[in-house]
Structure 1
Amino acid sequence: MAVSTPAHWPALPVLPDAATNAVVASGLLPELAYALGGPFHFLLPDAFTANLHAMQRTLETAGVEGFVYYAKKANKAAVFVEQAAAHGAGVDVASAAELREALGHGVRGEHLMVTGPAKDRALLRLAVTHSALIAVDALDELDAVITTALAGPIRPARILLRVLPPAQPHSRFGMTDDELATALDRCLQGGEALRMEGFSFHLSGYALQPRADLAARLVGKCRTARDMGLAAGRVSIGGGLPISYTDADSWHTFLDTQQPAHYHADKTFNSSDFYPYHSPVSGARALEYLLETRPEHGHGTLAQILTDAGVELLMEPGRALLDQAGATVFTVQGAKDREGCQLLTVNGTSLSLSEQWFNSEYLPDPLLIPLKPATASGVFPASVGAATCLESDMLTWRKIAFPHRPRTGDLLLYPNTAGYQMDSNESPFHDLPLPPKVVIDHTDRPRPRWQLDRHFT
C-alpha cells in the first residue's frame, strides 16, 4: 500500500527535456535493457552540439574572439569528441590516451589543449609533435617542455602559463607571481623552441565574478609579457560554467525540508557538499553573464577588456556542454519492505553515479518506468541500493516518492547524467562489466535508432 508519512517527501524534479522524453515514450529503453543485459547509459549528441553552438554564438554576439575546448574528462564517450571536431571546437585532454583518442576521432592537433599537473614525457612529446597547446603548471614542467621541444621536430612548443589563483592560494594548480616571473624569463631564453601564447587558471567552484576578476588580471599579464617580446595573446578560464538540473523553487524547497528521516538509515549529508543543482544563470547564459561582468579594478566589462587588449578567450567546459546529453538506466532486480518504505536493489552500482565519489549524492529524482502497467498510484517512497556486497553502496540514499510501487523488472532512469556521472568513478567491481554507452539518433525518424559508442579503450 502507498504511504503518506512523513507528510512531505522532498523531491527534486528535473527540468523537462523533450529528447529524453521522446526516448522514454518510444519504448526503446526496455528493449535495450533486455538486449544489453545490464545497466547502460544513453547519449544524446544533438544536445551537446546545441550547447556548443550556443556558446559559440555567445562569443560572437559579444564581439569576443574565443575558442571552446570540450573537457574530455567529463565524459569519455567518443561521440562527443566527434561532435566537437565536426563543429569547430577543440578538446581538453590530460593523458596520452585521451590525446590519442581525440586525434583518432578527428580533432586536429592544434585544437587540443593539454592540461593536468606534472605531465609525463610521453604526453609532452605527443603534445609538442601535434602542436597542441600545453597549460604549463610548474617551473620543472616548463623545463621538460623546453627539453622536449629542443629534442623533437623543428616546431615550437605552444604553451600557456598556469597561474595560482590569488583567491585560492592553497590550490595545487598553478604558479605564484615569483614563479611566473622566472617562467617568463625561461620562455625568452627558450627562443624558437617555445611559443608562449598566454596564461590560464584552474578555479574551483562555480561563481562567475572571481573568474571575471582573474581573467581580467591575466589580460594585464598578457600585456606585460608582450612588452617582453612574447606572443601572449590568449587567456584560458578553464571550466566551471554552471548548469541547472532543476528550477529555483524546487531546489530551495529541497534544501529547506530535507532531513535525516528522508534518507535510508537516517543518512546525513552536508548541504554545502551538494552540487548546486540550480543556478540563476547556466550554460551559454552563464558565459554571457561572465562576459558582461565588470571585473574588480577593471575598466568596463570583461568582454571590453578582452577586445581592447586583442586577447582571445579560451575555455574548457565539460558539464555545461553535456547538459541534457544523456541519462543512465538500471533495472530493479529486488525490493524489500522496510518500515513503510522500500529498499530497492538495481543491477548496477553507485560507481555509475559519481557524486558518491565526493561523499555526496546525485539528487535529481530518478524516473520509474514500469515493466507492466501500474495498478495503483499514490506515494511509494524507496531508496535505491546497488548489486554489491557493500553496505554503503547506495545509488540513492534518499527515499524517493515514486508515483507507483516499484517492482522487479521495472526500469529506473537517472536523468541528465552525461556530465561527470557516467564514468568518473566506474569500476568493474565484482567483475561486473562497465555499463555500455548507447548513442541515440533522432534524425528524421519516427522512432529513434541506436548504436554503441565508438570509444577506443
Structure 2
Amino acid sequence: MTVSNSRESPCLVVDLNLVRANYRALHAALPTARIRFAVKASPLPEIIRLLDTEGAEFDVASVGEIELCLAQGVDPAVMCYGNPIKKAGHIATAYAAGVRRFAFDTEDDLQRIAEHAPGSEVECRFLASAPQSQTPFGNKFGCAPDEAAQLLVRAHDLGLRAGGPYFHVGSQQLDPLAWQIGIEQAGAIADALVAKNIPVSVVNIGGGLPISYADAAPGVDELGAVITAAATRHLPEYTALIVEPGRALVGNTGVIHSEVVNVRQAPDGRRWIYLDIGRYNGMAETENEYIAYRFQTDRDDDPVAEAVVAGPTCDGDDVLYQRTRVLLPTTLRAGDSVRILETGAYTASYSSVSFNGFPPLTVHVTGAERE
C-alpha cells in the first residue's frame, strides 16, 4: 500500500475523525465488549495508532500484520492471531514477539499452537448456523459446535488457556438475528465446558457488522441491543464478549477518487463506462457484485441512465457491475471525475502489486490521530 501526498487518480482518501467516531459509537452500543479491530480491513499505520490510543485490541491475520502493529507501538498483549490457517513457524514468530492469543479450528493447528506458543490463550472458531451474509465465507472456516467444545477441552489438557468459542456470521451481515443464533450456539459450548470445570473467559462474536452502501444496513445501536440481549440470556455472566469489527470501523471513512477513461456503446446497446480503477487495484469486493458501492460525479444534476461499470485492465473479468442497476449521468465522458463512496474497507488492502502494470491504490489520510 502506497501512502502519498499527491492526489493522482485513482486514490483513496481516509478520514481519521470518522474512524474515531465509529469506534466510540460501537463502544457506546456495546459498552462491556472488548473491541478488537480486524487489521486486514485497512492496515494503515495512522488507523492502528488511533485505535490503539482509543483502547482497541487487534485481530492480526499474519506475521506481517503483527509486525505492522508492533511498529506502531501496539502492545502484543492486545493482539490475537485470529487466522486459523497458519504455519508452525509463524506461530513461533508471533509467540516470540509476545503474542499470547490465538484462534484455531482444527486439531492440527491446536497442536502447533501448544508446541510453539505454550501457555497461550486460545479461541476455537466454530461454524455458526447464521443466515448468509453479503460476502459469505462459505465453509472455509469453523468446526462443528460439538467439535469446538471437544477441542477446547483438548486445549485445556495441552496446557493452553481455553478462552472460549469464537464464531463469525460472515462479512456485511445484514440480519441482526445472525448474532443471536451464534451467541446461543456459543452458550451451549460454554455450558459444556463449565460442566467439565473449564471456565469460559471469553466468547468472540467475530466481525461482520455491516455499513450502508447503496442499500441501508442496520445500525450499531440495533445490533448492540440484539447482541446484548442474547449474551445476557445465553452466556455465563462472568464471560467477556469480544467483537472484531473491520468494515464497521473504517468502511464509511474512505472515498475513492477515480476518473472516467472511456465511454462506449456496446453492440448489445448497453452503455459501458470504464474507470481508472477496477477489480485488481482496489475494487475487489465487487466480485460477484456482492458490495454495491455508491457513485458521485460532478454531473449528478444531469439526466441519468443505466450503465455497465468496468475497470481499466485488459482482463475480461475486470467488470464491477453489469447485473447491479447502476444509474450514472448520460453526459459522463473521458476525463470526468467519479467518487466511489464508503470505500474505506477492503480496497487498498486488496489492491494488487501491479497487475497489468497498474500501480497499487494510493492512500491519503486526513483528520487527526489524537483529539
TM-score normalised by length of structure 1: 0.69
What is aligned with 1:19?
Answer: none
C-alpha change, 1:127 and 1:196, in structure 2 (3 Å) is farther
C-alpha change, 1:161 and 1:38, in structure 2 (3 Å) is same
Matched, 1:389 2:314: yes
What is aligned with 2:227?
Answer: 290
C-alpha change, 1:167 and 1:282, in structure 2 (3 Å) is closer
Instruction: Report deviation, 1:440.
Output: 1.5
Matched, 1:423 2:349: yes
Could you report, residue by residue, the CA deviation over 1:305-363 in whole angstroms, capped at 9, with x for unpaired residues?
Answer: 44x52111101111111242101111223333558875333323232212333x21643
Per mean C-alpha deviation after superposition, the further-off stretch among 338-347 and 233-242 is 338-347
Pick from 320, 326, 329 the counterpart of residue 257 of structure 2: 329
Q: Which structure 2 residue ranges, 5 or more long, are not aligned?
A: 132-137
Pick from 183, 192, 201 the counterpart of residue 233 of structure 1: 201
What is aligned with 1:76?
Answer: 43
Could you report, residue by residue, the CA deviation over 1:53-80 in whole angstroms, capped at 9, with x for unpaired residues?
Answer: 11111222xxxx3201111222222222
CA distance in 2, matches of 1:379, 1:162: 46
In the TM superposition, 1:40-439 aligns within 5 A as 40-60=11-31, 65-129=32-96, 130-150=98-118, 156-165=119-128, 171-176=139-144, 179-191=147-159, 194-204=160-170, 205-246=173-214, 277-279=215-217, 281-292=218-229, 301-306=230-235, 309-337=237-265, 342-351=271-280, 352-357=282-287, 359-360=288-289, 362-369=291-298, 377-379=302-304, 382-397=307-322, 400-403=326-329, 405-424=331-350, 426-439=352-365
Preserved contact between residue 47 and residue 323 of structure 1 (Cα < 8 Å): no
C-alpha change, 1:320 and 1:58, in structure 2 (3 Å) is same
Query: Could you tell me the percent identity over the aligned residues?
Result: 23
What is aligned with 1:272?
Answer: none
What is aligned with 2:134?
Answer: none
CA distance in 2, matches of 1:147, 1:337: 61
Q: Which structure 1 residue ranges, 5 or more long, are not aligned?
A: 1-31, 151-155, 247-276, 293-300, 444-457
Could you report, residue by residue, the CA deviation over 1:18-73 in whole angstroms, capped at 9, with x for unpaired residues?
Answer: xxxxxxxxxxxxxx8xx44431111112111111111111222xxxx320111122
Preserved contact between residue 211 and residue 252 of structure 2 (Cα < 8 Å): no
CA distance in 2, matches of 1:335, 1:184: 57
Q: Which has the larger radius of gyration?
A: 1
Preserved contact between residue 332 and residue 407 of structure 1 (Cα < 8 Å): yes
Preserved contact between residue 242 and residue 286 of structure 1 (Cα < 8 Å): no
TM-score normalised by length of structure 2: 0.84
C-alpha change, 1:186 and 1:377, in structure 2 (3 Å) is closer
Per mean C-alpha deviation after superposition, the further-off stretch among 176-185 and 85-94 is 176-185
RMSD over equivalenced CA pairs, Å: 3.0
* Number of aligned residues: 354
Could you report, residue by residue, the CA deviation over 1:399-441 in whole angstroms, capped at 9, with x for unpaired residues?
Answer: 7444461233221100001122443353521111111111022
Q: Per the alignment, in what secondary structure is the counterpart of residue 289 of structure 2?
A: coil
C-alpha change, 1:349 and 1:149, in structure 2 (3 Å) is closer
CA distance in 2, matches of 1:367, 1:331: 11
> Which consecutive segments of 4 or more residues in structure 1 shift more than 6 A?
none
2:220 is matched by which residue type in structure 1? G
2:253 is matched by which residue type in structure 1? A
Could you report, residue by residue, the CA deviation over 1:289-310 in whole angstroms, capped at 9, with x for unpaired residues?
Answer: 3323xxxxxxxx433544x521
C-alpha change, 1:284 and 1:317, in structure 2 (3 Å) is farther
